[in-house]
Amino acid sequence: MMKSLRFLLVIALCFCVFIPAVFAGGTQSPGGPAPIRWLCMGDSGAKPLIPNDRIVTGINQKLGINLIMEIVPQNAAERINVAIASGDFPDIVTGQHRTSATQNWIDNKIIIPLNPYFNSSPAIKELLSTTYSWDADSSGNFYGIPFISQYASSNQLLATRSDWLDKVGMKFPTNMTEFKAVLMAFTHNDPDGNGRNDTYGMTAVTGYNFPYIFFAFGRRTADYELDARGNIIPLFEHESFIPAMTYLKDLWDNGVIDPEYMVNDYPKVEEKFFQGHIGLFHGYLFRHVSRIENSVRQLYPAASLVYGLPPKGPSGALGMAGEGKGGLFTAITAACKTPDKAAAFIDFMISKEGEDYVRLGIEGVHFTRQGNTIIYNEAEREKDAFSPNGWGHPLSWGSFLWPVDARYLPYTEPARDRALETTNLATSAIVPNLIKYTTPAEITYSSIVNDIYQQYFVDMLTVKISIQQGTAALSRDWRAQGGDRILADVTTAYRNQR
């Protein structure tokens, strides 16, 4: 009765968005399976869990647990925070990495360190001591498993159309001179052949601000920079900012940047590309390569998708996207009665064995091997909530891994080799962060200072203020409105970073 009342409380607090699913076992008996209740977010790419599916049953049998999943929709972390704040503690919880909420879990001992389970959990130990070694606190304790999107791999490249390049007689640009020349031709040389001046060289999404241009001019990190004395400074105080801003303003003055980029979302960017209004855009490729190319070819049969790295700057520098900071954080709560079992479950999920199990399923049931190729049994996979066409079980989406970041592609994926090529290219152009995580001051002030930066960026680009004056005013206002507090915080984090 009390368990039912507790569950109803969570439902009420979270506006009826939890989707409870209980698999195998039931109540714990002496020597029986240990109930492990996991509160986490789902993913829009996953199918709903099915009661008693064979994947969850297999995990239960292997680990001697009874996994109880409580799932809120993707991007609904606040509903998890509300549940935890109500005192309704699961055994395992997944929240957002390095936010005020998850920091509160650590400060108030709602979650426990994972270090005591390193000897029995080799995958946890390996991941935290290598990839995420910087996530320990000052005492060396790790309180959860981070999952940072776009941290170790990327799918972001520049993309254009082969027929437009052919029409203007150019190749994909590799340096800043070629880049401008291609954009000028896409804008002024009638690449669509309709006799009208109705095209733009490139576009982007609002707030994007073309970071690859700044990387080309010598920005070395994606979040902050170091001055000549080794002090941390905002990116716009680095020597690369004014030359890069000057280059971008020249593109703007020549009319090659879509003037609506400041209000575009990503679907709008793709729509303009498909409609032939713009020639080049910053794209999220990987498994989207075939989708984007097929959409282009439906409208322009002779066209194909051309993608590549951003242009190199005067010194040969280039970069496409910054290392990810945002992501998820999975931890064991202090209320868990069997933390060793909870740790064993997490360890299995992040191990190679566990990753393959939730992606592929049971060999001979959900898939078979034909040499190095996987053959999917879609009829059997559907019975256990695998996403269609070779994509994974609901447990393989989010929390511990995600198909895009893990560079996993089913063997059924069209143009699989090209899709994998895009991640290899994009990953080679990731730019590291100076600070690996978001600090408390950034959580408090980032929204304010980011708005300040965005306004000055647009004003400098559109000639409402000169670049020299705008940069000086930006520095003054950014620092006064919380930037100095952020710099103090990230300086401490940088000195303590492992």
Q: Where are the domains of the chain?
A: 2-147+326-382, 155-319+407-438, 439-498
8 A C-beta contact, residue 406 and residue 280: no
- Comparing 13-17, 181-185, 352-356, which segment has the lowest mean pLDDT? 13-17
pLDDT for 59 equals 97
The Cα 73–Cα 70 span in angstroms is 10
pLDDT for 441 equals 94
Topology (CATH level 3) of domain 2-147+326-382:
D-Maltodextrin-Binding Protein; domain 2 (3.40.190)
pLDDT in tens, 332-364: 999 999 999 999 999 999 999 999 999 999 999
pLDDT for 298 equals 93
Predicted confidence (pLDDT) at residue 32 exceeds the cutoff of 90: no
Average pLDDT over residues 443-464: 95
pLDDT for 407 equals 64
Average pLDDT over residues 211-219: 98
The Cα 378–Cα 361 span in angstroms is 11
pLDDT in tens, 416-425: 899 999 999 9
pLDDT for 7 equals 37
Average pLDDT over residues 268-282: 96
Q: Which one is predicted more confidently, 214 or 3?
A: 214
pLDDT for 45 equals 79
pLDDT in tens, 154-165: 999 999 999 999
**Residue among 210, 170, 161 at smallest CA distance from 189:** 170
If pLDDT is split at 50, 70 and 90, which confidence band does 454 have?
very high
Cβ neighbors of 222 (< 8 A, separation 6 or more) are: 211, 319, 321, 322, 323, 431, 432, 433
**Would you state the structure tokens that stand for residue 217, as one six-digit string?**
């001019």
Examine domains 2-147+326-382 and 155-319+407-438 and report if their fold is the same: yes
Q: What's the whole-model pTM score?
A: 0.86
Superfamily of domain 155-319+407-438: Periplasmic binding protein-like II (3.40.190.10)
Average pLDDT over residues 381-395: 94
Question: What does each C-alpha distance from 399 to 22, 88, 462 come to in angstroms?
Answer: 19, 20, 42
